[in-house]
Amino acid sequence: MSRRRQSVVEDLIEVAAMLPWWVGVMIGALSYFLLHPLAEAPPVTASGLNDLSGMVNSQFIRTAAMIGQYILPLVFIIGAVLSAIRAFKGGSLLKAAKATRGSADLMDISWREFEQLIGETFRERGFSVAETPSGPDGGVDLELRKNGELHLVQCKRWRAYKVGVEIVRELYGVMAARGAAGGYVISSGVFTNEAEKFAHGRNIELWDGAKLKAMIRHDRAESRSGLSQVASAPRANPGSREGRTTSEKPRCPVCGADMVLRTTRRGANAGQQFWGCSSFPGCKGTRNRS
């Protein structure tokens, strides 16, 4: 197989691996059943010069079908296997992240695993997730769809420095070009003040390492219903009664998780109670008790 053909096959396998495994299996089976009759069709014979062109075209289609009836199913089956492996690995990463507090463990995984972990986090919340072949830096890494709306995600597993405003601007430009309803920039680190100011009011969510872990550690029932509200609703002031549930237990203004009553142990406010996020120390959101 030539290098060019090998590259095409590898690209097809990568595309197939981005699909759910069962979709790859279905496409592989369908391609065989569509191409096999063409490959088995009797060759066309030419009775004169006028029929020569039709004979050549028919033979070309027949030859392509003979090769494609085996190559395409194989490509999509391999892609389906890779997709299943990635889904299993993503589930394992999510399970491990749920079992640990804090965000230090996010630094111990590769950028690819970081993307898989984020993808599984959104899948658990009812989003359809598609990876994009963008590589470890630049571009959109994940495409989310829910209720007919497109959301774009850029993942940054950065340890040494903060995510700056340029990254957020880049995502906002892609959102505008593609008509996306919203976007997320998710990092294992933190964001600059300029990045947070630019994202404010532009339907872009910035998740640092602490917020990502807080979202990961939500229980399944809450995460199915709460993520879209967290992403679209403005954050409530800590002293207000916004975000209260029917049981009068408030929601965290940072990540949307339930809050619990805590008591200040030190300083001028020692002995006073306040609402603290149940995901602490992964999330440090607070509200005044009122």
State the Rg of the chain over Cα: 26
Q: Which residues pair with 258 in a beta bridge?
A: 251
Contact residues for 143 (Cβ-Cβ < 8 A; gap 6+)? 129, 130, 132, 150, 151, 152, 153
In 3D space, the residue among 147, 82, 93 whose CA is nearest the CA of residue 119 turns out to be: 93
- Model confidence, pTM: 0.58
Q: State residue 243's pLDDT score.
A: 41
Best-predicted range by mean pLDDT among 109-118, 157-166, 222-231? 109-118
Residue 133 pLDDT greater than 90, yes or no: no
Best-predicted range by mean pLDDT among 8-22, 118-132, 206-220? 118-132
Q: What is the pLDDT of residues 138-178, one digit of tens each?
A: 579 999 999 999 999 999 887 657 899 999 999 999 999 99
> Taking the alpha carbons of 82, 87, 88, 92 in that order, is the dihedral positive or negative?
positive
Confidence of residue 271 (pLDDT cuts 50, 70, 90): confident
Of 52-61, 89-98, 208-217, the least confident: 52-61
Residue 35 pLDDT greater than 80, yes or no: yes
Q: State residue 220's pLDDT score.
A: 39
Q: State residue 249's pLDDT score.
A: 65
Confidence of residue 248 (pLDDT cuts 50, 70, 90): low
Q: What is the pLDDT of residues 43-83, one digit of tens each?
A: 877 666 666 777 778 888 989 999 999 999 999 999 999 88
Q: State residue 27's pLDDT score.
A: 94
Confidence of residue 42 (pLDDT cuts 50, 70, 90): confident
Residue 131 pLDDT greater than 90, yes or no: no
Residue 283 pLDDT greater than 80, yes or no: no
- Cα separation, 83 vs 60, in Å, equals 33
The larger pLDDT score, comparing residue 69 to residue 189, is at: 69
> What's the mean pLDDT in 100-112?
84
Tokens encoding 79: 């892609």
- Residue 147 φ then ψ, to 5°: 55, 35
Residue 196 pLDDT greater than 80, yes or no: yes
- The per-residue DSSP string of 183-241 comes to EEEEESS-B-HHHHHHHTTTTEEEE-HHHHHHHHTS-HHHHHHHHHHHHHSPPPPTTS-
Residue with tokens 């989003």: 127
Residue 111 pLDDT greater than 60, yes or no: yes
Mean pLDDT (the chain) is 80
Give the percent of the chain with pLDDT over 90: 35
